[in-house]
């Protein structure tokens, strides 16, 4: 019998498939986008439930995979059934009071996978987990990956890079991200928008720098005037970029890695500048144009690899360059929990190489006296401080400027913002 569309079993089944695809190497956003396309009539509530289940299971993967290793003699080869067990275990952790319903619904979901041949196994594993929970949790507490819910190499690197703060970083990475707004000051003052939020029953408070932190995340459709461009969703740490870039009316600005355009739009909200936004991914570059259109802002947007100057540069130098480079995204894993498990340690060196190439290329198009803001959402020094120090050492005309009164700004993820890194470089005239 097919699963009822409104049931928990249906949501567990959908999320299990998504988790299995991620564990097979696919990106969670792409997997979910494909799932929504294949289920156009899925009620919004069920979509939210599936998404939440998949995210939670991936945040906890290190722990629940450990539990499975204790509960099963050999690893389960069937990806979706393994996904189902992981999703069910994470739901048991979140809603212990609903344990029996969760197990029943997971068994029902198992009936719709692999012709139902794993129903008894799913039932047995989950009931066994509930029986042995205290003992299993104690064992998980002794296993580093299970305890911190991050890969072992990742934990080791954070411990080395942030000896005084690696535990809160890992804890933040396992939590739910805050939802923060950027008010489009070209359309409404932040205080007026705060009043609009209050009138809509949405509690929020301003952070340093003007971002508005919502007490609770909501779908964007509930934000007053979102479609009309009164605000954007953007992390408070990300909102530092445009402010640090120090833009003024009339400047020529390059946003070299722009998609989906959050920082591009912010720059344009702050000053009347002539802005070129590039992104190597043509599909993502389109999203920059869509975002600017919603906000009533104008820029030239082009799909291009910013390292290939011959393909896009017209020979005129820029006063300001934002290099928000591709990185491991280790500062935003709570928003992309798949990244923890998909990344490999050797990716850091690969990202660092690309970042170095991007910096070298962009330096050539920066005007003397101009400033380049280097940004990542990473917490690994190879992509941040070490990258910038190596660059400054090989460019004689590079002077490092203070960022928020410090040589560089490394924001660590917390309840107000994600993890970000900023360094500001000036080209000597």
* Chain residues in the site for ligand SAM (CB under 6 A): 238, 256-263, 278-281, 284, 305-307, 324, 326, 358
Minimum gap (Å) between residue 417 Cβ and ligand SAM? 14
Minimum gap (Å) between residue 301 Cβ and ligand SAM? 12
- CB closer to ligand SAM, 49 vs 375: 375
Task: Give yes or no for a contact between 301 and 349, defined as CB atoms under 8 angstroms apart.
Answer: no
Quick check: is 327 catalytic?
Answer: no
Closest Cα partner for 374 from 328, 308, 421?
421
Minimum gap (Å) between residue 346 Cβ and ligand SAM? 18
Q: Quick one: tokens of 399?
A: 């002077």
Q: What is the DSSP string of 279-308?
A: ES-HHHHHHHHHHHHHHT---EEEE--TT-
CA–CA separation, 129 and 171 (whole Å): 24
Minimum gap (Å) between residue 321 Cβ and ligand SAM? 12
Beta sheet of 212-214, edge-to-edge order: 204-206, 212-214, 180-183, 231-233
Instruction: Using alpha carbons, list the distances in angstroms from residue 113 to 10, 13, 17, 91.
Output: 11, 8, 10, 19
Question: What is the helix (H) or strand (E) element at residue 426, kind and residue range?
Answer: strand 420-427
- CB closer to ligand SAM, 304 vs 425: 304
CA–CA separation, 296 and 288 (whole Å): 12
CA–CA separation, 125 and 121 (whole Å): 6
- DSSP summary character for residue 4: P
Give residue number: closest CB to ligand SAM.
257
**What sign does the dihedral 263-265-269-272 (CA atoms) show?**
positive
- CB closer to ligand SAM, 202 vs 323: 323
> Which residues does residue 420 pair with via DSSP β-bridges, in sequence order?
411
Give per-residue burial for 178-204: e unless 16+ CB within 10 Å, then b: bbbbbbbeebbebeebbebbeeeebeb
Q: Quick one: tokens of 218?
A: 């909501």
- CB closer to ligand SAM, 53 vs 256: 256
Minimum gap (Å) between residue 355 Cβ and ligand SAM? 9
Of 306, 327, 377, 398, which one is the catalytic site residue? Answer: 377
- CB closer to ligand SAM, 149 vs 239: 239
CA–CA separation, 397 and 394 (whole Å): 9
Residues noted as catalytic = 377
């Amino acid at each position: 019998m097919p699963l009822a569309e409104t049931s928990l079993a249906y949501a567990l089944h959908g999320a299990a498939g998504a988790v299995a695809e991620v564990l097979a190497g696919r990106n969670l956003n792409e997997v979910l986008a494909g799932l929504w396309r294949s289920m156009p009539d899925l009620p919004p509530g069920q979509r939210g439930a599936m998404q939440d289940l998949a995210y939670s299971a991936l945040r906890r993967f290190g722990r629940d995979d450990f539990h499975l290793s204790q509960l099963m003699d050999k690893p389960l080869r069937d990806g979706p059934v393994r996904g189902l067990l992981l999703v069910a275990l994470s739901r048991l952790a979140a809603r212990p009071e609903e344990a029996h319903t969760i197990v029943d619904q997971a068994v029902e979901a198992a009936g719709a996978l692999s012709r139902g041949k794993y129903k008894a196994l799913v039932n047995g594993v989950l009931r066994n987990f509930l029986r042995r929970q205290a003992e299993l949790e104690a064992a998980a507490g002794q296993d580093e990956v299970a305890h911190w819910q991050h890969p072992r190499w990742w934990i080791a690197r954070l411990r080395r890079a942030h000896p005084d703060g690696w535990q809160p970083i890992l804890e933040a990475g396992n939590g739910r991200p805050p939802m923060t707004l950027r008010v489009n000051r070209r359309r409404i003052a932040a205080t007026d928008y705060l009043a609009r939020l209050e009138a809509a029953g949405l509690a929020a408070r301003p952070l340093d720098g003007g971002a508005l932190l919502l007490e609770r995340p909501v779908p964007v459709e509930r934000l007053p005037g979102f479609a009309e461009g009164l605000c954007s969703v953007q992390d408070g740490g990300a909102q530092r970029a445009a402010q640090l870039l120090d833009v003024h009316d009339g400047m020529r600005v390059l946003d070299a890695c722009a998609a989906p355009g959050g920082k591009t739009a912010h720059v344009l909200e702050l000053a009347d500048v002539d802005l070129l936004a590039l992104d190597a991914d043509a599909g993502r570059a389109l999203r920059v144009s869509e975002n600017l259109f919603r906000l009533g802002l104008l820029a030239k947007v082009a799909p291009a690899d910013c390292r290939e100057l011959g393909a896009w540069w017209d020979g005129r130098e820029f006063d300001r360059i934002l290099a928000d480079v591709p990185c491991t995204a280790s500062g935003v894993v709570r928003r992309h929990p798949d990244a923890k498990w998909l990344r490999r340690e050797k990716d850091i060196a690969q990202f660092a190489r690309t970042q170095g190439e991007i910096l070298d290329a962009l330096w050539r198009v920066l005007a003397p006296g101009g400033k380049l803001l280097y940004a990542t959402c990473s917490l690994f020094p190879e992509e941040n401080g070490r990258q910038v120090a190596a660059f400054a050492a090989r460019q004689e005309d590079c002077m490092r400027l203070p960022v928020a009164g410090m040589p560089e700004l490394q924001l660590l993820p917390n309840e107000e913002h994600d993890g970000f890194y900023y360094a500001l470089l000036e080209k000597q005239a």
